[in-house]
Amino acid sequence: MTRFILAAVAVLLVWGLSLGLDLPLLVPIGVTGLVVLVLVGLHLLDRLREARRARALEAALAAQPVEAVRPDQVEELVRVRAEMAATVKTLGRRRLYRLPWFAIIGPPGAGKSTALRESGLTFPGVEASTGPLRGMGGTRNCDWWITNEGVILDTAGRWTSENEDRDEWLGFLDLLAAQRPKRPIDGLLVALPVDALVADEAAIEALAARLRDRVDEVQGRLKLGLPVYLLVTKCDLVAGFVETFGDLSKEDRGQMWGFTEPLAARGPARDRLQARFDELLAALDHRAGKRMGDERSVEARARIFAFPEEMASVREPLAQLVARLFAENIYAETPRLRGVYFTSGTQEGRSIDRVMHALADAMGMPHAAPAAAAPTPKSYFLRDLFTKVVFADVGLARWSEGEVRRQGRQQLVAAAAVLTLALGVAGLPLVAWRANASYLDETAAVVDEAGHVSDGDGPADPAQLASLGARARELRRFEEEGPPLSMRMGLYPEEVHPAFERLYLDTLRRAVVAPILDADADALGAFAARARGLGDAYRPAPREVVETFGALEMHLLLTGPPEPNEPALDEVLEDELTERLVARWAAMRGADRDARRAMEPHARYFVAALRDDPRLRLPRRIAEVEAAQSVLRDVEDVELATQVILGRIADEHGMPDATLPRLLGREVVSVRNDARVPAGFTRAAWQAHAQRMIEEDAALLFARPWVLGRPPVDARTVEAQVRMLRGHYLERYRDAWLAFVDGIEVVEVPATVRADQLLELTSGTPLLVQLVRGVADNVDLVGAAPAPPSQIAQRAQRAARLRLQRALNRVIPSEGAQTLAASATEGAARVISDDEAADRTAQARALRDRFAGFTSLAEAPANGSSPAVEYTEALDFYRVALVTPASASPAQRREEARALAVRIVEARPEPWRAPVRAILMPPLSE
């Protein structure tokens, strides 16, 4: 890696010098080509060295001459050499060298060879019956397990417990270090038979000490810090092991049983082992319970039941051994515990049955006979351990701290040489200077454009601001992430960003925000003047209230000095203010969607800067603000909220007002009514929007008293205002429909066209029936639950909750604000108390009952017709008499109809007689 870094630095320096000094292009190209050739040559040289080392390693493995062995070992030596040659031929000499190499150590009888033989690994070039390649040359104490995935050096058990042939083994480690200098071995496996953990503490401590000495010996000799894999073998000796896992298939037996520590694991190895061992026992309990339900043999179930406790008895001895084996050592490299794994290569020997023997002793019963040996020995939990853990961990071996320091010194020398070379080259600073000079020239040109941004009538067009905005955002990115490398070298002028940003913001303030605020302030003044001119007779329209309230809020947020109770900008207010600013700009410019999209980043940039820099606020038009606030304050809060809701339903949701033609579904000549019921006072709007707006938008409006120059309010006040608004809204709802009914007028026509009028009133669905039903549908709100909100409405509801909570946070404790916001924004669909539900039902029923004297015209008694139908039939008889001379006298039919109409009118309660009379009697005039 160092050579590539040096090569890259050299190439960069040459190119920098060439660009800075305007050298011919062939110079850096030629140097780059030369560097590439050198790198290729070094790579080929490395390959040759690797091949030579592979041959040397192979020769060292077979170095012992035939004459040096006893006559009875000659045949075995010849066979081993033949197997080695076959293995090398199968894998390839170079691949054998590149494979990961691991060593496995452990006391005699630990089951190392059995575990490797039964692991399911493939050993190319070796017959299955012969096993590993026996040690040759200086490695008689080591067997070679050469697989397709890696090489495992199986050391003799006596090397762990005794010092016999220790010098030969250390010589072999030196050979590995010489012939595999980059990675002598990749890890160390420590095999520990489970029966070794049955010994007393002193024996376990001694065994751990011997294992630690061997591990330290390997790490110190190879100058490595190795991952250590602790294999607890012969787990079949734990009573109940075979019964617990005997039902597993061959594929399942190949799984790993144990745990692998994360690479970043910290803390004492003993604590980590105990924690993971407890997790293992918990899973084992679950497994044992499941197996007991499947096992028929009572004796086997008893062993399965006791098996988790048998394994638990291993926990503390294993923890003691791990604590000693992986203890910190400030004088040598501390081995890293990579994992602990429990395995069984075959089933031999007598099982360890501590728990069952202890229970038998406690109950005074004889010890149960040991379980019979498994009919067919099987291997457990070996295959994946090697293929998915050990061989997959290539690259975890690292140089020891002493070796790292030595290499660090070498790298320091190389870095010093590179630094010396870099300091002697002035090309890169020159390139950076030129890049910065060019960038400053471009920025100066953009600054000149700022002076030409229109500040005439109306706000500026986004096309005029495009260059300014792009450069301001680019400079901000340079400020946050740093400028390009070509502009660094300490030459980047950092003072450009704040100066240019100030110019950009001042331009936005002058050419965009100021014209909008001036126009809005003029509109606020005109609104207040109209109100003063009309006096008590002035009633602002819903749309006017919405526009005035929004203009006031935006003006207060963008101007100064702010009043103490006005909020600071937060993310929610920033989003609202940006949207409103863009909307006002688009309205003044008559802009389309693309233009709005182009203006949005400029508005957002300004609003974001406004939060951190109050100097950007414009002077407040105090007279106009106070005049508009005074007018809106004269309107009751509930009436103001009602107007806002009506305006939003009409403008944002596009719902039409209720008129006579819409109610009847057609235009009619005989009936007139100039009254219009606002869209918000229809059943459709009540269900779709109004109920939810009363809870959400009104609560938000009440939580922003600062817009009207009022002091803050508390949570109870807001809740009370919302309840009052509901009642007020329904009162206005009632009054609007009363006015509509009062405005219904049936036209009196001359006798010559009376029959045509009667035909229009009676043909098809009777007009009176349609009219009464249309009114009845809209005034009957009992059970009119709000419609399920759409996805857009749901997002708006969540945003409203957040806005309301933040608004309330400024005036009441945060916990109360959160509760109130959630309650308000869940709208009419939220869970309410029984009393509140009853109150709401009573309000809706009162509205419906108020119109009962009118709507009952379309209600038919049992086995009868409604008054409206009877009246229509009488009108039809009268019409027929008018157009059919042979029928009864028209005057008689008219009098009969008049008499019926009078009875119907008299049956109405007050105050419904007059409006019903105005509807029923005109067609029957003389």
DSSP 214-279: HHHHHHHHHTEE-EEEEEEE-GGGBTTHHHHHTT--HHHHTS--EEE--TT--S-HHHHHHHHHHH
More confident residue, 481 or 55: 481
What's the pLDDT band for 374 if we cut at 50, 70, 90?
A: low
622-634 vs 514-534: helix crossing angle, rounded to 10: 50
How distant, in Å, are the alpha carbons of 664, 670, 750, 892, 923 from that of 926? 27, 17, 9, 12, 9
Would you say residue 754 has pLDDT above 60? Answer: yes
SS3 string, 560-591, reads ECCCCCCCCCCHHHHHHHHHHHHHHHHHHHCC
pLDDT in tens, 631-682: 888 877 788 788 888 888 888 788 899 999 999 888 888 899 988 999 999 9
What's the pLDDT band for 816 if we cut at 50, 70, 90?
A: very low
Q: Are 314 and 278 in contact (CB under 8 A)?
A: no
User: Mean pLDDT across the stretch 227-237?
Assistant: 94
User: Mean pLDDT across the stretch 572-577?
Assistant: 87
Least confident of 32-36, 251-255, 806-810: 806-810
Alpha-carbon distance of 311 to 354, in angstroms, equals 10
pLDDT in tens, 844-853: 899 999 999 9
CB count within 10 Å of CB 169 equals 26
Least confident of 146-150, 607-611, 687-691, 799-803: 799-803
Indicate yes or no: pTM above 0.75.
no
SS3 400: coil
pLDDT in tens, 325-334: 999 988 888 8
Residue type, 511: A
pLDDT in tens, 714-723: 778 778 888 8
pLDDT in tens, 889-911: 888 888 999 999 999 999 999 89
Domain boundaries, the chain: 98-394, 398-425, 428-635
CB count within 10 Å of CB 380 equals 24
pLDDT in tens, 262-310: 988 888 999 999 999 999 999 999 999 999 988 888 889 999 999 999 9
Q: Are 466 and 405 in contact (CB under 8 A)?
A: no
Per-residue DSSP letters for 405-450? HHHHHHHHHHHHHHHHHHHT--HHHHHHHHHHHHHHHHHHHHHHHH
Residues 6+ apart with CB under 8 A from 279: 259
Q: Which helix or strand (DSSP H or E) is residue 190 part of?
A: strand 187-193
Partner residues linked to 745 by β-bridges: 672
Question: What's the full length of the chain, in residues?
Answer: 926
Question: For strand 224-225 and strand 142-146, is the pairing parallel, antiparallel, or unpaired?
Answer: unpaired
Least confident of 98-112, 174-188, 343-357, 881-895: 343-357
CB count within 10 Å of CB 495 equals 8
CA angle 178, 180, 184 (to 5 degrees): 100
In 3D, which of 253, 284, 262, 280 has the Cα closest to residue 384?
253
More confident residue, 465 or 91: 465
The radius of gyration of the chain's CA atoms, rounded to the nearest angstrom, is 47
Alpha-carbon distance of 687 to 682, in angstroms, equals 9
How distant, in Å, are the alpha carbons of 190, 543, 626, 694, 739 from that of 533? 98, 20, 17, 31, 26
pLDDT of residue 418: 63
Both tokens assigned to 187: 């890890």
Would you say residue 808 has pLDDT above 60? Answer: no
User: Mean pLDDT across the stretch 803-816?
Assistant: 46
Quickly tell me which residue has 């630690």 as its tokens: 212
Alpha-carbon distance of 732 to 843, in angstroms, equals 13
Q: Are 615 and 559 in contact (CB under 8 A)?
A: no
Alpha-carbon distance of 112 to 117, in angstroms, equals 9
> Using the 8-state DSSP alphabet, how is residue 334 labeled?
P
Beta strands in 535-684 (DSSP E): 559-560, 618-619, 671-672
Q: Are 335 and 188 in contact (CB under 8 A)?
A: yes
CB count within 10 Å of CB 462 equals 22
In 3D, which of 14, 5, 4, 7 has the Cα closest to residue 428?
14
More confident residue, 451 or 53: 451
Q: Are 236 and 195 in contact (CB under 8 A)?
A: no
More confident residue, 796 or 684: 684
**Summary mean pLDDT of the chain:** 80
> Using the 8-state DSSP alphabet, how is residue 687 labeled?
I
